[in-house]
Amino acid sequence: MQLILFITLHLFTSPPDLLGLGAEVQGRAGTGTVTAGGPESLFYNPAALEASPKAWAGVLYQYTALHSPTGTQHMDIPLYTQAGISWGTSVKGWTVAGGVVVSMPAGPISLVNFHGSREPFYPYYDNRSQRIFTAPGISVAKGSWAFGIAFDVFADLTGAIIVTEGPDRAVHQRTVQELQGAAAPIVGIHYRGRRLQAGISYRQGLSIHIEDRSVMNVVSAVMDIGVRGDALPSPPVLSYGASWMTGTSKFLLQIDEVLWSYVDPYITLDSQLPLLGILQTGRGQVLDNSVALRLGYEKRLSELQSIRAGAVYESSPVPPQTGDTNMMDGDKLAVSGGWTRRFDAYTLHLFMSLQYMIPRSDKKKIFMSQDGQTPPDGVLTDEIPDTEGNPESQGFQTSNPGYPTLDSGGFFFLMGLSVEVQP
């Protein structure tokens, strides 16, 4: 017999999607589609990769505090390391550059959190920083125009757990787990003028297919539980950016379309359990697409020092939570600042950013059960129908933790540094 359920997956993706990549770009609010330049371009826009050889390494620290009915929530991993290297050459008027960039958490290289459909959680933050990110790529330029492509690559991970039988041969358990390898392209075009620069990039969504099957024999009964689905998915992102240089100042504008509607936030559970028939529940709510508007500013104070700043507004991908699910989110505002100091042998980049989630309150809609009526979507149903002679059943009864309102809010703080070496 088979039990099929759909359960919410604690979302989402690779570290750069949430944390950004490179202290220099993060200091101006992640406006990297047009002017990244170094190995970090392989994430933002591979076409912007410059041919001059460059290598850098850095570290990030993050702290989150998010309001929840079950208490304050935090992201799992506070520290991350990042590194990249690039090089290039010119051949008959064409410039070819290549490189690779890596970002990884200071902890497990792949960590997936699963949650029940009613559990309050923040899909924008959860699982967005819990796997290693590796992207090799190249760019080809002719005159003022360049084209580039990179690949977000994730390798296979497999493992197994076997529990041997006890003396009475009553229990035997086998567990096999697999995270399948995957790769997704990141493509872009870039224009580099004397004052004006512009770029467009597209990051294909990437999800890691997970397979987990556990078989347990308890006396004569067989319990077969299989989990399969797409874990740690990254939403596709389409970015447009432009910058204008005047004197020692640079102004940047970037618009990101984040296609969350292509992300499936659910997994499938196939189970063979004693005394149960086949059960199946439908999928819950899907996510909406969102838009991020980024403004950046950079000023060269001298040949040795530069400062930068930026601001971001990003809309929420989570639809109103009026029914059974409790995905939490809100529109976001962020500010950032950075500083660069050039030394003889290296360049130091520092940045800090603070993201504030605008408080949001979703009021649950209730449906009082009555004979012959089917509850509509997006409502909570009365779990204990009114029964004559039972005063405890009177009125609306629910165990949903988001009732009567689901309140969201909090902040996300990020700081980091990187050291760059350019021969």
Q: What is the pLDDT of residue 195?
A: 94
Q: What is the pLDDT of residue 227?
A: 62
Q: How many residues does the chain have?
A: 423
Q: Are strands 266-272 and 221-234 parallel, antiparallel or unpaired?
A: antiparallel
Q: What is the pTM of this model?
A: 0.84
In single-letter form, the type of residue at position 399 comes to: S
Tens digits of per-residue pLDDT, 169-217?
554 555 555 556 678 899 999 999 999 999 999 998 877 666 666 666 6
Q: What's the half-sphere exposure (Cβ side, CA atoms, 13 Å) at 130? A: 20
Tens digits of per-residue pLDDT, 14-40?
578 888 999 999 999 999 999 878 999
Nearest to 124 by CA among 416, 363, 268, 334: 334
Q: Are strands 54-66 and 405-421 parallel, antiparallel or unpaired?
A: antiparallel
Q: Are 324 and 118 in contact (CB under 8 A)?
A: yes
What DSSP element (H or E) covers 196?
Answer: strand 196-203
- Residue 12, preceding peptide bond in cis (omega within 30° of 0): yes
Tens digits of per-residue pLDDT, 250-259?
999 999 999 9
Domain presence at residue 190: yes
Is the pLDDT at 339 greater than 50, yes or no?
yes
Q: What is the pLDDT of residue 27?
A: 95
Is the pLDDT at 277 greater than 50, yes or no?
no
Q: What's the half-sphere exposure (Cβ side, CA atoms, 13 Å) at 255? A: 3
Tens digits of per-residue pLDDT, 57-108?
999 999 999 999 988 988 878 899 999 999 999 988 899 999 999 998 887 6
Mean pLDDT of 278-285: 45
Is the pLDDT at 7 greater than 60, yes or no?
no
Domain presence at residue 119: yes
In single-letter form, the type of residue at position 390 comes to: N
Q: What is the pLDDT of residue 204?
A: 87
The radius of gyration of the chain from alpha carbons, rounded to an integer in Å, stands at: 25
And the tokens for 44? 């933002």
Domain presence at residue 138: yes
More confident position, 164 or 420:
420
Domain presence at residue 390: no
Q: What is the mean pLDDT of the chain?
A: 82
Domain boundaries, position 342: 13-154+183-208+232-364+400-421
Angstrom distance (rounded) from CA 63 to CA 348: 23
Tens digits of per-residue pLDDT, 111-126?
666 666 788 888 888 8
Angstrom distance (rounded) from CA 17 to CA 83: 16
Domain presence at residue 382: no
Q: What is the pLDDT of residue 261?
A: 87
Domain presence at residue 172: no
Q: Where residue 110 falls among pLDDT bands split at 50, 70, 90?
A: low
Q: Are 14 and 158 in contact (CB under 8 A)?
A: no
Residue by residue, what is the 3-state secondary structure of 91-120?
Answer: ECCEEEEEEEEEEEECCCCECCEECCCCCC
**Number of compact structural domains in the chain:** 1
Nearest to 300 by CA among 289, 290, 308, 292: 308
Q: Are 401 and 119 in contact (CB under 8 A)?
A: yes
Q: What is the pLDDT of residue 11?
A: 34
Q: Are strands 133-142 and 145-154 parallel, antiparallel or unpaired?
A: antiparallel
Q: What is the pLDDT of residue 280?
A: 41
Mean pLDDT of 311-336: 94
Tens digits of per-residue pLDDT, 223-249?
666 666 666 677 899 999 999 999 999
Q: What is the CATH number of the domain that holds 51?
A: 2.40.160.60
Angstrom distance (rounded) from CA 271 to CA 240: 45
Domain presence at residue 413: yes
Beta bridge partners of residue 267, listed in sequence order: 7, 229
Domain presence at residue 360: yes
Mean pLDDT of 355-364: 96
Q: Where residue 151 falls among pLDDT bands split at 50, 70, 90?
A: very high
